[in-house]
Structure 1
Amino acid sequence: MQDGSEEHKRHKSCRNCASIIPAESEKCVFCGSYQVPGRVPVYQYAAESRFLRKFFLFPLAVVFAITIFLLEAIYDFTELGLSWITIFSFFFLLFAVFGYISEWIFLLKAKGESKDFRQGFFEWQKKLYQKSAVVSYAGMFLFVCVPLIDWSNPIPFSAAASIIWTFLLLFLIKILFPLF
């Protein structure tokens, strides 16, 4: 009985990918993120923290997107126009959505259900399809123009996917719709 508790104390969960690693290791053997603060810059240590991403960064992006719309309704920014406010809000809202989706995909990768981000995406699609086909098709639509390369962190993936979709919306609102 004593061996089981000692074995549990010798291992801990990675801050970034939630894999089980030895307690004394400085870097995760699976994702390469540092486990001890002070070894890397503060911004990199914070970006590798799954807790900070899930409970602060992505929810703050949603709050910021809603705040932009509320400020427009209260103060009427005529200089920017409603289309630009819609575009900025759309970016932050999609940043949060893609962030949570990529956290789920990276968790599948950490559990060993997938070997890379692309396979994790397909596993995520299978799980969505088991719940509801409509939700699965909506997930496929979100990823239609996002490159499925092997991303190292959810933050660059969600930023890149949000930028792609924001530029698509910008093209529609500012270039295509005024033609009609």
Structure 2
Amino acid sequence: MSGADGLPVIGLIWAEAHGGVIGAGGGMPWHVPEDLAHFTRTTMGAPVVMGRKTWESLPERFRPLPGRANIVVTRQADWHGEGAVAAGSVEEALALAASDADDGVHDEFGDLLEGRPTDACIWVIGGAELFGRTIGLAERLVVTELDLDVEGDTRAPDRGPEWRVERTDPETGWHTSRSGIRYRFVTLTR
């Protein structure tokens, strides 16, 4: 999954309810364990880029996300998150994630990025502001669609007509979570 320039593909991954709702009050207003497992399977072994608020919304026991280089975009020059690397801009975060050189990511994470496949993906995992700033750079979207009406204050970025559905799981219909929420996984490319 490498881009045309040989660099890792940038992918965005999120879950959304009807109306593109991806969050409320700094968290997800639903619980779909199967989506969390899908998120883990999809991003495992790859660098993940997130905003500071997304980092802070993760339960402390899951910070940093294990098995992934955690890169946090923040405007706070003195910010530090145990197990994460801070980046002052989206560009810096993506450069850190894409780097194959012995740089700060390697210093912080040891061999986590060493030997990763050259077709690795850099996953942008939120929040909404970061999605909006990176969707124009992305080549892949992995969206868990939830068949759910819920109030929310955070929405997914608009997807233009250039995005095409590559695959839907299931191909027709929906899975049903053990929490009772219907969902499906949709992968889009451009």
Higher helix proportion (structure 1 or 2): 1
Rg larger in 1 or in 2? 1
Higher strand proportion (structure 1 or 2): 2
TM-score by shorter chain over 0.5:
no
